Amino acid sequence: MSERKGYRVAVVGATGAVGQQMIQTLENRDFPVSELLLLSSSRSAGTKVEYKGKEITVQEAKPESFEGVDIALFSAGGSVSKELAPEAVKRGAIVVDNTSAFRMDENTPLVVPEVNEEDLHSHNGIIANPNCSTIQMVVALEPLRKKFGLEKIIVSTYQAVSGAGAAAVEELEEQTQAILNGEEYEPKILPVKSADKHYQIAFNAIPQIDTFVDNGFTYEEMKMINETKKIMHMPGLQVAATCVRLPVGTGHSESVYIEIGQDGVSAAEVKELLADAPGVVLQDDPDQQLYPMPAFCVGKNDVFVGRIRKDIDNDKGFHMWVVSDNLLKGAAWNSVQIAESLVKLGLVK
Amino acid sequence: MSERKGYRVAVVGATGAVGQQMIQTLENRDFPVSELLLLSSSRSAGTKVEYKGKEITVQEAKPESFEGVDIALFSAGGSVSKELAPEAVKRGAIVVDNTSAFRMDENTPLVVPEVNEEDLHSHNGIIANPNCSTIQMVVALEPLRKKFGLEKIIVSTYQAVSGAGAAAVEELEEQTQAILNGEEYEPKILPVKSADKHYQIAFNAIPQIDTFVDNGFTYEEMKMINETKKIMHMPGLQVAATCVRLPVGTGHSESVYIEIGQDGVSAAEVKELLADAPGVVLQDDPDQQLYPMPAFCVGKNDVFVGRIRKDIDNDKGFHMWVVSDNLLKGAAWNSVQIAESLVKLGLVK
């Protein structure tokens, strides 16, 4: 492995919000790329994208595109992944897939490197990248789980519109301007583009992300519940989520309540542990009004944690506020980080 | 009582965001007012305010202003209430106080009519109106407490800027426009006007409302905790809160998790109960994407409840989403409603 100068990397969905961040992150991290192949739907093929000062023309993604590819980062929607990821694997590539297509497949590891990097060893060609809101939460909670045990999570999210794609960001901006001008603006994208009804997001909060499941939870909420259990290898962990979309461009926030497995732990001990945790930046000083906020996390790879408090009634209970850039640690950076781990562990052929 | 044609009503803080809503609500409810006295600081005195088509000149609030007043609605800040509410009582008025000055005073009832109207009987001249975020939560939870018992509440709030006054609404609008224009804008009001640091609220979420207490919670969070226990007469109730300010003009939302005192209750039973609950409008139909949202609650007196789900792990656990106009049920309407209850119960001399 150490002889390799670089890898042939493909980005599928290269023109999307996450795809663009993937390309930027590969460049920022100076990932050992010998050749970068940018793929998309036929509609976006032909677009030119800059990588390390050179223009690369985006090509239509086809099964044959993956001949000779070492690592393929997918972020072009679940149906594209279902069709093309197995084709890429068949041709010898390792796929890191940022859609929900394979996340709960029992033969596919679902990986956040700070939490379960070792699961990469059991891959069968595809590694799934978890949902954005799940990733930042498990990065913050893993150090606590390891040291004190973890029994219960109740999370309420404050999610940015970029999680619904570039069109949702545009909708937020145009709609906000229209409302400030006192003009009408017909919502067309949020909360779910394909849904029957669309609602105003500007100066509003929409308690729906993704569509509904029979139990009254949304798919987004069930993703947080099921993916957290899988990543932490804790099928018995109690997890509940309420997911809400806010008029924020980028940066997901989460109000997280947990019950750990140990009595007598102080908030100070939790803070101390998180101050040294991988991928975490502790921002917690009420006297200095220091706490994480989405507007100040954009463009950063870290998960920011603050407002850490011990529950008043439950000795095992703690509250915290967790913020991260949903396009980076929530998507592009976690995918590239998985690729870095694969290289480090010698798992790329 | 039934012979009285009307009451001499004073509104203290008549030019503020809540004071304005109080005057409007007295008019909308056709409250039996024989004379309306509008009071304010010396700074705002002289302002003219319309009530039932007539202009009333706002006067400076002084102890003597309350001579002959039957009911005084206060919403001019805690220090004004501390100074002038006892003066009004001394002169025979009943005070409904919308500040935090007397809320936790053990001789002062803290009242939400749908929950503890009977506490009005024990008043000593002053009745406290609870914090906005507390009111809408207890209206939604009281029917459940009565029928099934209530053991635990964990709430995360999504609060509008109008809770911080008219200047905060202006800041949100001007700052949003500046950001859309790519211009600089120095925050001066939020999260707390008197605090050292001010942060951008546009396209952001600020996990601080009011200042911090030693235990790491904010005063706003402690208000929700302590006031809920007092209103429900449940000193042993477990309550925890995380309060967050959003770029929303008016309308507070809350993600509420509760544990009731009974096993085997279904989400359908909870919905059925809330569909008939006083002050509550049930908006809960995932198939129709029906759930409450702050943008659609403005100007309405009700508390809107939806997204009701049974917890997946805990048979006593339920999740819900509670939305209300923070200036109305959260402040002005609850105050006027208390005045209506006082009249109904024959408690106004």
Tell me: the pLDDT tens digits for B63-76?
999 999 999 999 99
* CA–CA min distance A87, chain B (Å): 36
Contact indicator for A97, A129 with CB cutoff of 8 Å: yes
Interface test with B, best of A137, A153, A154, A183 (most B CBs within 10 A): A154
Higher-confidence residue of A319 and B2: namely A319
Spell out which residues of chain B touch residue A238, defining contact as CB-CB under 8 Å.
Answer: 312-314
Beta-bridged to residue A11, according to DSSP, are A38, A73
From B41, B39, B31, select the one nearest B6 (Cα to Cα): B31
CB contact under 8 A, A180 and B173: yes
Query: What is the predicted pLDDT for the residue at B349?
Result: 80
Contact indicator for B110, B230 with CB cutoff of 8 Å: yes
**Mean per-residue pLDDT, B262-284:** 98
CB contact under 8 A, A295 and B203: yes
The structure tokens listed for A263 are 């009595």
Please give the residue of chain B at the shortest CA–CA distance from A203. Answer: B248
Tell me: pLDDT of B227 over 90. yes
Is B326 assigned a ligand-binding role in the annotation?
yes
Query: What is the predicted pLDDT for the residue at A1?
Result: 45
Beta-bridged to residue B59, according to DSSP, are B39
Spell out which residues of chain A touch residue B311, defining contact as CB-CB under 8 Å.
Answer: 240
Residue B310, Cβ density class (10 Å: 0-12 exposed, 13-18 middle, ≥19 buried): buried
> What is the SS3 assignment for B168?
helix
Query: With a cut of 50, which residues of chain A have pLDDT below it?
Result: 1-3
**Mean per-residue pLDDT, B95-108:** 97
Using a CB–CB cutoff of 8 Å, tell me whether A255 touches chain B: yes
Which residue in this structure is represented by tokens 């545009």?
A170
A246, A291, A308 member nearest B246 (Cβ): A246
Instruction: Kindly give, in sequence order, each residue whose CB lies less than 8 Å from that of residue A291, ignoring residues fewer than 6 positions away.
Output: A283, A284, A306, A307, A321, B207, B208
pLDDT tens sequence across B295-339? 999 999 999 999 999 999 999 999 999 999 999 999 999 999 999
Contact indicator for B266, B315 with CB cutoff of 8 Å: no
Query: What is the predicted pLDDT for the residue at B5?
Result: 76
A177, A200, A317 member nearest B180 (Cβ): A177
From A160, B140, B200, select the one nearest B208 (Cα to Cα): B200
Tell me: pLDDT of B30 over 70. yes
CB contact under 8 A, A247 and B249: no
The mean predicted confidence, pLDDT, of chain B is 97
Q: Which domains does chain B have, with CATH numbers?
A: 7-129+331-344 (3.40.50.720), 134-325 (3.30.360.10)
Q: Based on the residue annotation, tell me whether A132 is a catalytic residue of this protein.
A: yes
Q: Which pLDDT band holds residue B1 (cuts at 50, 70, 90)?
A: very low
> What is the SS3 assignment for A254?
strand
Q: From CA A32, how far away is CA B136, in angstroms rounded?
A: 55
Q: Which pLDDT band holds residue B4 (cuts at 50, 70, 90)?
A: low
> What is the SS3 assignment for B169?
helix
CB contact under 8 A, A212 and B287: yes
